[in-house]
Structure 1
Amino acid sequence: MKKYLIPLLAISLIWGCKKEVKKADESKEIMTTEDEGWTYLFDGKSFDGWHTYLQDTISSQWQIEDGVMFYKPDPDKNQGMNNLITDKTYKNYELSLDWKISVDGNSGVFYGVLEDKKFVVPYMTAPEIQIRDYTNIPDFTDKQQMSGAIFGIVGIEKDVANKAGEWNHFLIRIDHDKNQGSVILNDQEVAKFPVNGEAWEALVENSKFKDWEGFGITQNGHIGLQDHAHGVWFRNIKIKEL
């Protein structure tokens, strides 16, 4: 019996090793395909690559826990001045991120941020992809202020955001070379818009931003996350430059 046991055990070990190798290779292939061309802007552990607009430090109201960065407003500290922006600037890209918002919360993702002391906050220079909850405003109908809209400029056709406290996903495309912008929210395209030239200028002219110096003119700008004095959470923030 012994003389059969050893060969069988050896065959079993070899087969087991082959299965493990195959499994590891498959996993590696999936990771390579999934992340090809993408660079993470948030490592899940630190604020490396980010800073507060016009400042070198980051407010303690921005925190990180379990791979999620979030803003926890402190009523005893200043609000609205703690907007985060990327250290680097970007022109043509796809931005992918998950977000969730507090009840009746308000925040947003900026693109094309111009960091200049003439402008107090990113909101003064950069278009904002809106993040909004209106749980306690059941008759809210302003489509230019719903999640996925370009705030005050381009409205959405349909509200597809999940309710407060639930995760949502943005895929934002900004391409100045092709003059194309789009927002996909939870796998549905909700907004499509020009990002420069006469068509963009016409949209701004018909908005409250029409006389704002420096608004929406920067093609190579920072990406920003808005402090609007409400709780907001972000994770899996990554970019693919086009």
Structure 2
Amino acid sequence: MHRPPSLFPRLAAMAAALSIPSVAALAAAPNTLTPQEQAAGWKLLFDGRSTTGWHTYGKNSVTAGSWKIKDGCLVLPAGNGRPNGTGGDLVTNAMFTNFEFEFEWRVGPVGNSGVEYLFTEGEKRTANFYPGDTGDSPVGFEYQVLDDAPHANNAANRLAASIYSLVTPTGKTLRPVGEFNQGRIVVDGNHVEHWLNGRKVAECELGSPELQRIIASSKYKYYPGVGVKRATSIALQDHGAEVAYRNLKIRVLATSAGSAPVAAAPTPPPSTPAAASSTVTARKIPMQAADWRVWCWSKADNRWVEHPLDKMTVQIQDGVLSASNTTNSNWPRAILVYRGTLLDGDFIVSADYCGQLESFDLQSADGGNQRLTCLNPPQDNQWHTVLLGRKQGQYVARIEEAPAQVQNSKASAGMKGYFCFKLRPGETLEVRGLVVQAGR
């Protein structure tokens, strides 16, 4: 049978004549964003040239001689794969609550690494998870990065793209060793997904009975923090093998409307004094107007007082709280206080806001002069993520990926207080995605 000549050379010639770029030319160069991605809210976590925005787990910067930049990739040379060794896990300075994280990864023969999330940096544990474990590495969810073939004896839930040791990937196509694979992690409310090369391969629901059952039969049964929703950094794991990452990009997601609060402790810890002395809860807060109060500044009392009049209109719709400061000259300052949780000891609070926000604060529970004020948040019509936390008496605050300007007004290391938003008269604010993690 006579076959017509291939159309491809003719089409290519026509494209060249018309100066039409090829498909390859239309794709974004590594470590860049297309205009469409930028419009959709994606942000780069690595520009291909520096480790700005990252640090070694437990450190203030990237440990010298550990992760390197080579050919537009973050590359970890082979090492001992242990905390405080030659490498260390590489952690984002920024923290995220609901997000899509995309990345490309490449391992060599027998390669092993992972992308870790839903952890709290510096959180100590009583159980060792591997030989030489010092407790100085993340413990949370992990997207397994692996050369599967030499690890064929691994449990199926410990192979590439698994929710490590918990959920087995299905229907996956893994590219050969030495080639880049495309990974994707989605945390949307309580729902978690792992994707590999454009296909969803694993998922679970935080706080669900099924996930609790799985955790109870895994090594994570000794650690009550696994499977708990929280604001989290993202970590690239040092497992001793050489690994390369590139095209690290993230998009913050709006909180899923109607998601149920996350169970605080999926599995009880062992009955040891050390475990019993540490209680941590993390939960996404349903937006209810009754949980919020309006405090106005009383010059006579020299403190914030709960005002009996409606000096700030507050309403809830579709999981979003809207507030407007309607104070007058007699009450020139007012704050919107979340009274659902008294913050005592260590805590992390994060939320998304949109509008004219003067500051977000930790305000002493008695309404006195003690407070921690985080100044100069953006005031525009875009959604921004803010975070406020205290760990071992040290305060931290962030706006998106950057540390926030903090003004400490007699805020002691152990001050009990409430998370609040300060609005000037006439200003309006929307709040969504409030997540509170508090412990003692």
- TM-score by length of structure 1 reads 0.79
1:151 aligns with 2:164: yes
Report what 1:16 is aligned to.
Answer: none
1:136 to 137, 150, 161: 150
Structure 1 residues 200, 81: closer, same or farther in 2, change over 3 A? Answer: farther
1:32 aligns with 2:32: no
Question: Match of 1:210, SS?
Answer: helix
Q: Which moved more, 1:214-223 or 1:84-93?
A: 214-223
Report what 2:387 is aligned to.
Answer: none
Query: What is the aligned residue count?
Result: 214
Q: Within 5 Å, which residues of 2 pair with 1:1-242? A: 31-36=34-39, 37-59=41-63, 60-74=65-79, 79=85, 82-116=88-122, 118-119=124-125, 120-123=135-138, 125-137=139-151, 139-140=152-153, 142-176=155-189, 179-242=190-253
Q: Confirm or deny: 8 A CA contact 1:61 1:73 kept in the other structure.
A: no
Among all aligned residue pairs of Structure 1 and Structure 2, give the percentage whose two residues are the same amino acid: 29
Deviation at 1:122, TM superposition (A): 3.6
- Which one has the bigger strand percentage? 2
Q: Which moved more, 1:162-171 or 1:127-136?
A: 127-136
Structure 1 residues 93, 117: closer, same or farther in 2, change over 3 A? Answer: closer
CA RMSD of aligned residues (A): 2.7
Aligned-partner Cα distance in 2 for 1:79–1:132? 21
Deviation at 1:156, TM superposition (A): 1.2
Aligned-partner Cα distance in 2 for 1:65–1:81? 16
Aligned-partner Cα distance in 2 for 1:231–1:82? 12
Deviation at 1:222, TM superposition (A): 1.0
Displacement over 3 Å in runs of 4+: 77-81, 134-137, 196-200
Code of the residue aligned with 2:231 in structure 1: it is N
Question: Match of 2:48, SS?
Answer: coil
Q: Confirm or deny: 8 A CA contact 2:66 2:87 kept in the other structure.
A: no
Deviation at 1:134, TM superposition (A): 3.4
Q: Confirm or deny: 8 A CA contact 1:110 1:122 kept in the other structure.
A: no
Question: Match of 1:209, SS?
Answer: helix
Q: Confirm or deny: 8 A CA contact 2:79 2:86 kept in the other structure.
A: no
Code of the residue aligned with 2:147 in structure 1: it is D
Aligned-partner Cα distance in 1 for 2:220–2:202? 19
Q: Please identify the structure whose Cα radius of gyration is greater.
A: 2
Aligned-partner Cα distance in 1 for 2:182–2:231? 24
Report what 2:332 is aligned to.
Answer: none
Q: Confirm or deny: 8 A CA contact 1:135 1:164 kept in the other structure.
A: no
Higher relative contact order (CA 8 A, sep 6+): 1
Q: Confirm or deny: 8 A CA contact 1:146 1:159 kept in the other structure.
A: no
Structure 1 residues 172, 107: closer, same or farther in 2, change over 3 A? Answer: same
Aligned-partner Cα distance in 2 for 1:39–1:166? 24
Q: Confirm or deny: 8 A CA contact 2:112 2:239 kept in the other structure.
A: yes
Aligned-partner Cα distance in 2 for 1:142–1:158? 16
CA-to-aligned-CA distance 1:17-37 (integer Å, 9 cap, x gap): xx99xx9xxx8xx93213321
Structure 1 residues 97, 43: closer, same or farther in 2, change over 3 A? Answer: same
Deviation at 1:146, TM superposition (A): 1.0
Unaligned runs of 5+ in 2: 1-17, 27-32, 126-134, 254-440
Structure 1 residues 70, 81: closer, same or farther in 2, change over 3 A? Answer: closer
Code of the residue aligned with 2:38 in structure 1: it is D
- Which one has the bigger helix percentage? 1
Code of the residue aligned with 1:101 in structure 2: it is V
CA-to-aligned-CA distance 1:136-179 (integer Å, 9 cap, x gap): 35x44621111110111011124422122110001210112xx2
Code of the residue aligned with 1:142 in structure 2: it is A
Aligned-partner Cα distance in 2 for 1:74–1:62? 11
Question: Match of 1:113, SS?
Answer: coil
CA-to-aligned-CA distance 1:191-224 (integer Å, 9 cap, x gap): 0111345443333122110121433324111111
Aligned-partner Cα distance in 2 for 1:136–1:126? 25
CA-to-aligned-CA distance 1:18-76 (integer Å, 9 cap, x gap): x99xx9xxx8xx9321332101011111111111111113231210022110100246x
Q: Which moved more, 1:90-99 or 1:33-42?
A: 33-42
Deviation at 1:116, TM superposition (A): 1.7
Deviation at 1:239, TM superposition (A): 0.3
Structure 1 residues 213, 192: closer, same or farther in 2, change over 3 A? Answer: closer
- TM-score by length of structure 2 reads 0.45
